[in-house]
Amino acid sequence: MELTDADLVARVLVDDDQHAFGELVRRHQSAVRGLLRQLTRTDIALADDLAQETFIRAYKNIRSFRGEARFSTWLYRIAYNCFREDARRRKEVVGVDEEQWQAEHDPQTVDPGLRHDLMHALSLLPLHERTAIVLCCQNGLSHDEASRVLDIPLGTVKTNVLRGREKLKRTLAAWGPN
Amino acid sequence: MNAMIDDETLDRQLREAAPYVDDEGFTARVMAKLPAAPREPQWLRAVILVGLALLGSGVAYLLSGGGRFVREGVIQLAGFPIWLLLVFAFGCGLVVGAFAVIVAIRKTPEVRDVARLRF
C-alpha cells in the first residue's frame, strides 16, 4: 500500500522520520523544479537552488502544514515565495525585468527552430500569466488553489489564466504554417 | 495562419509538453542539507520520569502509614491457594504484555501502517 502525502507528513511530525520527508521530496521534486524553471525562464541552476531552498523550508516549517490544502499546493506556495524573495534579493524587480525581457524577445522574431515549441511560447508570457498557466493548466491546480499559492485574488487568477491562454493560442497560431 | 486551438486541447498539450524532471541526485542533496531534527535531551526525560516516580512513591509511603498496607497485602496474599496466585500472576503478565504491544505499535511506523491495512 503506497502511503499518502498526509501519512508521510504525519511520520515526519510524529517520528521525525527524515526518510518519509525524502519520499515527499522524491514525489514532488519534478513538479516544483518544473514550476521554478518556468518562473526563472529555464535558468536551471537557479531553479534547482530555489527548489532546494523550498524543500528545506518545507521541512523546517512542516508543523505549520495543517492539511487544509494539498501538500503540493503548500509546496508551490513556498516555491513561489522563494522565487519572489530571490528576485528581490537580487534587486531585480520582477516587473521591470519582465518588460526588458519581453522587449528583447518579440514572439514575431523568435528563432524558427523554436516555433511550434509550446514551452517556448509559454516562456514568452509575462510572469503573472505564465505562473497562472503553469499552476492551473499544467499542474492541475484549481483557480482557488492558485490564488492561495500566489496570494492574489481569485478574479485576478482567472483573468491571468484567460489572458495567458489567449496569448498562447495567438502565438502558436502565428507560428503555424501559412 | 493556423486556426486557434480550444482551451481543452491547449491545456492537454501544456500538460504533455511539461517534461518530467529526473531526480539525478536532487533528493540526496536536499536530504544532506536538512537540519538535524530538534530533540529534547534524553537524560532530561529520564530525570523527570525517575524524579516523578520517586516523588509519587514517597507521597504514597507517607500517606499509607509507613507502607503498612503493603505488609498487610503480602500477608493476605500468602494465605491464598497457590493456583490463585498463579492465575493472578498470569493475568498481570497478560495486561502488561498487552500494554507493551500497544506502545510498540504506536512507536513503530512500519507496524502501525500494517495495522492500518484494510482487507
Q: What is the CATH number of the domain that holds A139?
A: 1.10.10.10
Residue B30 banded pLDDT, cuts 50, 70, 90:
very high
Mean pLDDT, residues B45-69 = 87
In a domain, B87, yes or no: yes
Task: State the nearest Cα–Cα gap between B115 and chain A, in angstroms.
Answer: 12
Query: What is the percent of chain B with per-residue pLDDT over 70, rounded to a whole number?
Result: 82
In a domain, B6, yes or no: no
Asked whether residue A87 falls in the same domain as residue A4, the answer is: yes
Please report, for residues B23, B37, B43, the alpha-carbon distance to residue B26 in angstroms, rounded to integers and kept in the order given: 5, 20, 36
In a domain, A178, yes or no: no
- A6-59, pLDDT tens digit by residue? 889 998 988 888 899 999 999 999 999 999 998 888 688 999 999 999 999 999
Q: Which spans in A117-153 are helix H?
A: 118-123, 127-133, 143-150
* pLDDT higher than 90, residue B113: no
Mean pLDDT, residues B13-42 = 84
Asked whether residue A78 falls in the same domain as residue A29, the answer is: yes
Contacts of A137 (CB under 8 A, 6+ apart): A161, A165, B10, B11, B14, B15
Q: Verify whether the Cβ–Cβ distance A16 to B113 is below 8 Å.
A: no
Mean pLDDT, residues A97-125 = 63
As a residue count, chain A comes to 178
Domain that includes residue A142, residue range:
96-173
In a domain, A105, yes or no: yes
- A71-109, pLDDT tens digit by residue? 999 999 999 999 999 988 876 555 545 555 555 555 555
Q: Number of folded domains in chain B?
A: 2
In this prediction, the answer to ipTM > 0.85 reads: no
A175 vs B2, residue with greater confidence: A175
Task: State the nearest Cα–Cα gap between A15 and chain B, in angstroms.
Answer: 8
Residue of A29, A52, A137 lying closest to B33 (CB–CB)? A52
pLDDT the model gives residue A16: 82
pLDDT the model gives residue A115: 43
- Of A16, A53, A36, the closest CA to residue B38 belongs to A16
User: Does A42 contact chain B (CB < 8 Å)?
Assistant: no
In a domain, B23, yes or no: no
pLDDT the model gives residue B36: 76
pLDDT the model gives residue A158: 95
Residue B104 sits at φ, ψ, to 5 deg, of -60, -40
Asked whether residue A8 falls in the same domain as residue A82, the answer is: yes
**Domain stops at, among A44, A63, A92:** A92
- A59-71, pLDDT tens digit by residue? 999 988 888 889 9
User: Does A6 contact chain B (CB < 8 Å)?
Assistant: no
pLDDT the model gives residue A99: 55
Q: Verify whether the Cβ–Cβ distance A177 to B113 is below 8 Å.
A: no
Amino acid, res. A71? F
Contacts of B77 (CB under 8 A, 6+ apart): B85
How many pairs of residues across A and B have Cβ atoms under 8 Å apart? 93
Nine-digit cell string for A35? 514550476
Asked whether residue A55 falls in the same domain as residue A112, the answer is: no
User: Does A86 contact chain B (CB < 8 Å)?
Assistant: no
In a domain, B93, yes or no: yes
pLDDT the model gives residue B1: 44
Domain that includes residue B73, residue range:
40-79
Q: What is the pTM of this model?
A: 0.66
| C-alpha–C-alpha distance, residues B48 and A9, integer Å | 29
In a domain, B59, yes or no: yes
pLDDT the model gives residue B117: 47
Residue in the structure block whose three cell numbers are 522524491:
A26
pLDDT the model gives residue A110: 47
Residue A156 banded pLDDT, cuts 50, 70, 90:
very high
Asked whether residue A27 falls in the same domain as residue A73, the answer is: yes
Task: State the nearest Cα–Cα gap between A137 and chain B, in angstroms.
Answer: 5
pLDDT the model gives residue B39: 61
CATH number of the domain to which A37 belongs: 1.10.1740.10
CA A74 from centroid of its chain's CA atoms: 12
Asked whether residue B107 falls in the same domain as residue B74, the answer is: no
Asked whether residue A36 falls in the same domain as residue A120, the answer is: no
Asked whether residue A82 falls in the same domain as residue A121, the answer is: no
**Domain stops at, among A66, A92, A118:** A92
